[in-house]
Chains A and B, each alone.
Chain A
Amino acid sequence: MTGAFSSVLTRVRLCFIKGCIGSGILLLACLTILNPAADAAKNGNNAARDLTNLDLKELMEIEVVTVYGASKFEQKITEAPASVSIVTSSEIKRYGYRTLADILQSIRGFYTTYDRNYHYLGMRGFSRPGDYNTRFLLLVDGHRINDNIYNTAFIGTEFPIDVDLIDRVEVIRGPSSSIYGTNAFMGVINVITRGVNDLKGMEVSGEAARYDAYKGRLSYGGRFENGLEAVASGSLYDSKGQSDLYYREFDSPATNNGIARNADGDRYHSLFSTLMLKGLRLQGAYVSRDKTIPTASWGADFNNTGTKAGDERGYLDLKYEHIFDDRLNITTTLFYDYYRYKGTYIFSGVPNKDDTDGRWWGGDVKFTTRMLKRHNIIAGGEFVDNIRQDQSNYDEQPYSLYLDDKRNSRSWALYVQDEIKILENLILNAGLRHDYYDTFGGTTNPRVALIYRPLEPTTIKFLYGTAFRAPSPYELYYSDGNVSSKANPDLKPETIETYELVLEQSLGKGFRMATSLFFNKIDNLISLETDAADGLDVFRNIERLETKGVELELEKKWDNGLKGLISYSYQETENKQMDEAVTNSPRHLAKANLMVPLLKDKIFAGLEEQYVSKRKLLNGSDTGSALITNLTFSTQNFIKGMEVFLSVYNLFGQTYEDPASREHRQDAIEQDGFGFRLKMVYRFW
């Protein structure tokens, strides 16, 4: 044991050194690139002069950033009633992000956990082992992605949208139940897809990565004479995964000495399309993913490639927007959603199946009006009809049925939000939403933000809000026939109350700073526990958590295209019930991103450093800290229409682990070492 421990220690030390080297390169790169710029500065150019020297075409290339997801209308980030981060398509490209999880991992205060089945998202010290990202609301162009059985926010390869189709990702921190209802608990992630202005014809993409991973994509976008705008895309992905995965917990001759062979495969196919005509938009998305599970979770047989998860998610979303007279705007949406989960677990050679079938439809109406001077009011209503929330569990051969739970439910909600310009530099944003569920009843959630701009470059936000998360059918009704778990239909929603102070400061010379001080109080947290009376696992509203922390972010953009972003967050999360630190909650998170144009508009280098401090495990010990370096080189305009990307992930091959949830015998799951990817995109326009 001590031997293993000291080897971990050596690795940590090695990683630290490697990290130093990586960061050294980063700093060096900064300084080298900056030297010529420093000369230019001596010539007396100032920021304003530079802009006026640009011509119209160049001005049209400058990005100014707005956010939609915070208030359900486009607004400046500094006026949004939340702390907001944006990741743009160019960042996704330049840093070589492969999945939504990669993208989110780069954001201040966020961290992800991977158990070789799904990716789990954590923010501000909160990521419960075993939670399927239910405390985050995930939207694609405003459409809710969380399913109606587990409420999963899919962020790994099972996310329906190919990351190549993303125009930008808006991350809205803090509770937004006041406009979005359930799941908008820790934060909201709104993914906005590329439109026909960015996709003007056929585009093909192919990529190859370590572990025999291949992806292909074909996309088309066009505007037709009758005004129709169409985007359609399809993707195929196939990864063999790591051929040998070693887990010391299974290191015995009976279980192949702890080696799971060829049990890490991951494949998906996905389709996406958007059609727009006048105010009408029809969007459809579909993904089907199969992942082999190498960790023998839930007590499945080790080193058996039959244990796997299959996720299928699809939706159709019809939206109509009507603008009456500049001051009144009505949007109506009608949607149909589908989710199917098929899990196979081999227990002592017998396949046990989870078959979950979720179907729901619903609609909403939203009014946006500026009819009253200084007021920007949105009001709306929503309803959802869950026509199927079915879960079943059975052994196939010999057939034995353990669970056959068929449910349906309905919910509706009404909300209103008013943005009041009290003074030219003082905005009050207040929202309230009432949700009604036929399972547990009603809940009302407010959000209040006071946004003050004492000076042109300074924005101060005071934010208060509450949010809830409705218990999912999985938590309410799942049981495996009382063999190891039982249902609890009496669950109530869990709640969160947050206070946040945000300071956004533009420091001039292209410098921007954001700091945030936050306090979160979570009550009635739904957690899995073992009932002492019968030894069965059951979900209960038991825990009370408190988190306090601070975040700091610095961003800088230079004229020559160089961009740097550094963030640090410190948080303490405590379980008030037990008076102890919680699992999978790092105290420190630090990130550094640097985008360097090596050849103007043609070749770029994107360097990324991500630090996560130690995280407590379920057994009371902890994972080590990790400092990961990713590096991507990309070219565009070198050959007309072609883009080439070469990415290296975990450049120094650091060995690090993520905390495991209780269905694993492992306390922590080792993550991928050194990896690479080569990608090419060609556009025919």
Chain B
Amino acid sequence: MKATLGRIVLIFWALSALTATTATAAAPSPTAVTATTTAASDWHVGLNLRTDLGSHPIRLDGGVRLGTWDLVAVADIMAWTDGQMDTDFMAFRRGDSGWATMVGWRWTRISLGDSAQSQQKLLLGVGGDLPDLSASIRASWGMELAAVLVKHGGGLPTESLSFASARHYIDLLNFGMFVRIEFWRGW
């Protein structure tokens, strides 16, 4: 089933890339593409991708851009593969240059068989626009610090982030990088 999912995503990407190539060739100038990216408000849906171990490599990403704010929710479409589910809520504050700062929350749910442990993480990060893939598909890059503030549930004792010694927090602070590729429409 994992292989099937991979093929579906790959086909999605291949179609997107083909569309992007056509659209880029037809675009009258780079300026026109940039202009669509900076529309004041829009909705968007796409993929949140990463190669590090912070969450599943492919998740579904959607939200709204309201002026300088981009509000994003990320749903874990691969949770069924191993019982781990990462759900993100992020707010990006975008600057004129295409760079953005980000604050967010990640709820990680780890299956322990008959129950699950939750890990609540504060996300802090930066992001930046990548060149548009087409008139309606854009991409961005981001880097995050994920701090596990509390682990709870699953019938296990609750653990909170502590800075009493390096041994207390070494596992609980982690960096990650991601790429978002999304279809968008302005309003």
Are these two chains actual partners, yes or no? no
List A residues at the B interface (Cβ < 8 Å): none
